[in-house]
């Protein structure tokens, strides 16, 4: 056997711990694949006590991740610290400058500094691999970088955040309110430390920024992604869309249009019988529409110690075989600028929920606002809210309580929808902001 393949692992949290366990458990299997021993030569963590675990008996502890990154004893630096800057960025840069290969699970770092880090890796002739940064165990980076590299990608989309999918699934199955299910997701450890990151769509946007670059050969451009979270989704939306044959999913979608790349994160309606509607709980799914390969759907665990460690280890094995590609397939010098498509030009159907003052003419003014913008309605349903009279009180007429109106439109432009809803709000016929959700044709 030749020289061992030596690793320096920075960060021993959920993913770092999972990787140590994987190498402890499957190290012999990996060594037999590589034809040489795989060895954790050094680790770094916030506290030395974190390194007191099985599998690390022979690993040297470094209190400074940058020192570990540069240490001559390691061939691959594995960054599992997280965060878009700080020590994570400094240690990755140090490793690349020291001509060490880097494997990372850090979506925020790549979404923010991906291009400059790719340039650094290419300049130093080393790998910068990140299978674990998007959708955990799902091999979507390798699918785009390797298996589909000869294809022109038309669209990439998916459920990229387990926390949001868990919340929407529980709201659907258990008829519980958003805030209640969010608390459960936090208690189960699915949500990021700051759950806004998940429910506000930012975690999905980081992952989509990386996928967009790989799919379309463009520079990573987090700031060009339109981001909406799931905070505005109510039980009323879940129930109304269910009765119309849809499920609500937080989707990241990137597609090439005539005016540029439309990249957006937002709740979307998908048909109940579509494959993606079936993806429930914390499971992730990524779909790719490719010109020669056709449509591909990958489904699996998007987070957690074991699935994420599996993805990290697969990158380590690639490097162990000497398989080095530019991080974003296209050499960074050839990555195109990301030209953002105008979302106003998005053409599709929409779901709208309005809460109307139940007064004569209210519905007519809604229909007029839509008609004036050439928006054709596919269906319109009004639910009357009947508040039961207080015990002992006389029954009151229900026509003055607000009514919920659910509209499904035919295909139209986002600009028309936005302007029609602005008019409806200005007309003062609604008691709260209209809810508008795109219907995604899959």
Least distance from C-beta 77 to ligand HSE, angstroms?
21
First vs last Cα of the chain: how many Å apart? Answer: 50
Least distance from C-beta 264 to ligand HSE, angstroms?
18
Cβ closest to ligand HSE, residue 197 vs residue 351: 197
Cβ closest to ligand HSE, residue 159 vs residue 436: 159
3-state secondary structure the chain: CCCCEEEEEECCCHHHHHHHHHHHHHHHHHHHHHCCCEEEEEEECCCHHHHCCCCCCCCEEECCHHHHHHCCCCCEEEECCCCCCHHHHHHHHHHHHCCCEEEECCHHHHHHHHHHHHHHHHHCCCCEECHHHCCCCCCHHHHHHHHCCCCCEEEEEEECCHHHHHHHHHHHHHCCCHHHHHHHHHHCCCCCCCCHHHHCCHHHHHHHHHHHHHHHCECCCHHHCEECCCCCCCHHHHHHHHHCCEEEEEEEEEEEECCEEEEEEEEEEEECCCHHHHCCCCEEEEEEEECCCEEEEEEEECCCHHHHHHHHHHHHHHHHCCCCCCCCCCCHHHCECCCECCHHHCEEEEEEEEEECCCCCHHHHHHHHHHHCCCCEEEEEEEECCCCCCCCCCCCCHHHCCEEEEEEECCEEHHHHHHHHHHHHHCCCECCCCEEEEECCC
Least distance from C-beta 66 to ligand HSE, angstroms?
25
CA distances 239 to 153, 233, 275, 388, 424, Å, are: 35, 11, 20, 21, 23
Which are the contacts of 57, defined by CB distance < 8 A and separation ≥ 6? Answer: none
Cβ closest to ligand HSE, residue 75 vs residue 205: 205
Least distance from C-beta 52 to ligand HSE, angstroms?
26
Q: How far is the C-alpha of 265 from the C-alpha of 106, rounded, in Å?
A: 19
Least distance from C-beta 15 to ligand HSE, angstroms?
9
List interacting residues with ligand HSE (CB under 6 A).
161-163, 190-192, 198, 203, 302-303
Cβ closest to ligand HSE, residue 85 vs residue 125: 85
Least distance from C-beta 303 to ligand HSE, angstroms?
4
Least distance from C-beta 384 to ligand HSE, angstroms?
38
Q: In terms of Cα–Cα distance, which of 304, 254, 306, 265 is closest to 23?
A: 306
Contact 70, 42 (CB under 8 A): no
Cβ closest to ligand HSE, residue 87 vs residue 132: 132
Q: Which residue is catalytic, options 100, 107, 207, 249?
A: 207
Cβ closest to ligand HSE, residue 47 vs residue 188: 188
Cβ closest to ligand HSE, residue 18 vs residue 162: 162
Least distance from C-beta 319 to ligand HSE, angstroms?
23
Cβ closest to ligand HSE, residue 31 vs residue 163: 163
Q: In terms of Cα–Cα distance, which of 200, 130, 138 is closest to 163?
A: 200
Q: How far is the C-alpha of 269 from the C-alpha of 407, rounded, in Å?
A: 13
Q: Is 207 designated active site? A: yes
Cβ closest to ligand HSE, residue 185 vs residue 362: 185
What residues act catalytically? Answer: 207
């Amino acid at each position: 056997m030749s020289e061992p393949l030596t690793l320096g692992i920075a960060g021993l949290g959920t993913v770092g711990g999972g990787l140590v366990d994987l190498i402890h458990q499957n190290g012999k299997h990996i060594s037999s694949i590589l034809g040489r021993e795989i060895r954790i030569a050094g680790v770094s963590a916030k506290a030395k006590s974190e390194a007191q675990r099985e599998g690390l008996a022979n690993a040297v502890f470094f209190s400074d991740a940058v020192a570990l990154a540069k240490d001559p004893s390691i061939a691959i630096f594995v960054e599992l610290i997280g965060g878009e800057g700080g020590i994570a960025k400094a240690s990755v840069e140090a490793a690349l400058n020291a001509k060490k290969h880097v494997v990372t699970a850090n979506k925020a770092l790549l979404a923010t500094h991906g291009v400059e880090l790719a340039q650094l890796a290419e300049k130093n002739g080393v790998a910068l691999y990140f299978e674990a940064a998007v959708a955990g165990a799902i091999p979507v980076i390798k699918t785009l970088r390797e298996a589909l590299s000869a294809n022109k990608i038309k669209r990439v989309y998916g459920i990229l955040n387990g926390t949001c999918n868990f919340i929407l699934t529980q709201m659907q199955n258990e008829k519980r309110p958003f805030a209640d299910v969010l608390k459960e997701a936090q208690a189960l450890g699915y949500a990021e430390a700051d759950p806004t990151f998940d429910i506000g769509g930012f975690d999905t946007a980081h992952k989509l920024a990386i996928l967009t670059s790989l799919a379309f050969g463009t520079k990573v451009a987090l700031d060009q992604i339109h981001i909406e979270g799931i905070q505005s989704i109510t039980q009323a939306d879940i129930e109304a869309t269910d009765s119309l044959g849809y499920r609500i999913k937080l989707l990241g979608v990137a597609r090439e249009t005539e005016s540029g790349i439309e990249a957006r994160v937002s709740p979307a309606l998908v048909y109940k019988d579509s494959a993606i509607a079936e993806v429930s709980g914390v499971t992730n799914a990524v779909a790719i529409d490719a010109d020669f390969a056709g449509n591909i759907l990958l489904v699996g665990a998007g987070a957690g110690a074991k699935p994420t460690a599996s993805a990290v280890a697969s990158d380590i094995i690639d490097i162990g075989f000497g398989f080095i590609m530019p991080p974003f397939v296209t050499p960074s010098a050839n990555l195109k600028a990301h030209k953002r498509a105008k979302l106003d030009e998005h053409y599709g159907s929409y779901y709208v929920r309005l809460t109307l003052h139940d007064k004569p003419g209210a519905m007519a003014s809604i229909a007029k606002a839509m008609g004036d913008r050439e928006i054709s309605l596919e269906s319109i349903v009004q639910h009357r809210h009947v508040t039961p009279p207080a015990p002992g009180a006389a029954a009151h007429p229900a026509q003055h309580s607000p009514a919920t109106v659910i509209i499904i439109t035919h295909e139209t432009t986002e600009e028309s929808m936005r302007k029609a809803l602005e008019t409806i709000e200005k007309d003062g016929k609604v008691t709260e902001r209209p809810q508008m959700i795109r219907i995604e044709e899959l």
